[in-house]
């Protein structure tokens, strides 16, 4: 019984201290943000902001996306890279107003797989750009967007 009371008092004291502002949150350890890339208006500008000068076409990059998406607001996209030492994966929807849709850093030894949902206003090529060992590889898949699912 006494242990329950002590635990309750400890939690109450911590909650009061946090509410009073005595405990402050530490600095967040966020990754650097590619502002220029996400503000880019063209796919070429987004690509250059990633540092990808020349791209090598690769069959080791698998883009899993619907051929026809009935709702452009939630288009599921998954990228798998089978290229050894993958460092990052970026997704560019070429005809979007801001083409760079996502950029992911892959930890050393991590599985090179990412999945997200994109908002696409019209039929467009979705390009995956993979950085591995300082070189840039790419794969493209066209995703058709329909209005009301009528094709």
Question: pTM higher than 0.85 for the full model?
Answer: no
Query: Which CATH number do you get for residue 65?
Result: 2.60.40.2470
Residue 66 covered by a domain: yes
Instruction: Count structural domains, the chain.
Output: 1
Determine the Cα–Cα distance for residues 127 and 125; give it in Å rounded to an integer. 6
Residue 6 covered by a domain: no
14 contacts 93 by C-beta, under 8 angstroms:
no
Q: What is the pLDDT of residues 84-120, one digit of tens each?
A: 999 999 999 999 999 999 999 988 888 999 999 999 9
Mean pLDDT across the chain: 84
Domain of 55 in residue numbering reads as 34-145
User: What's 148's DSSP letter?
Assistant: T
Residue 94 covered by a domain: yes
Confidence of residue 36 (pLDDT cuts 50, 70, 90): confident
Residue 9 covered by a domain: no
* Six-digit token string for 145: 């967007």
């Amino acid at each position: 019984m006494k242990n329950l009371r002590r635990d309750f008092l400890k939690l109450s004291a911590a909650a009061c201290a946090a509410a009073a502002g005595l405990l402050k949150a530490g600095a967040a350890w966020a990754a650097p943000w590619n502002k220029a890339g996400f503000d880019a208006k063209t796919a070429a500008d987004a690509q250059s902001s990633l540092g990808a000068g020349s791209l090598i076409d690769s069959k080791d990059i698998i883009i899993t996306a619907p051929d026809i998406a009935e709702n452009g607001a939630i288009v599921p996209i998954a990228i798998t890279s089978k290229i050894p030492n993958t460092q990052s994966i970026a997704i560019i929807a070429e005809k979007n107003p801001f083409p760079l849709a996502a950029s992911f850093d892959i930890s050393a030894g991590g599985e090179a797989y990412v999945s997200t949902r994109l908002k696409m206003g019209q039929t467009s090529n979705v390009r995956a750009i993979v950085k591995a060992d300082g070189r840039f590889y790419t794969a493209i898949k066209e995703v058709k967007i329909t209005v009301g699912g009528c094709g």
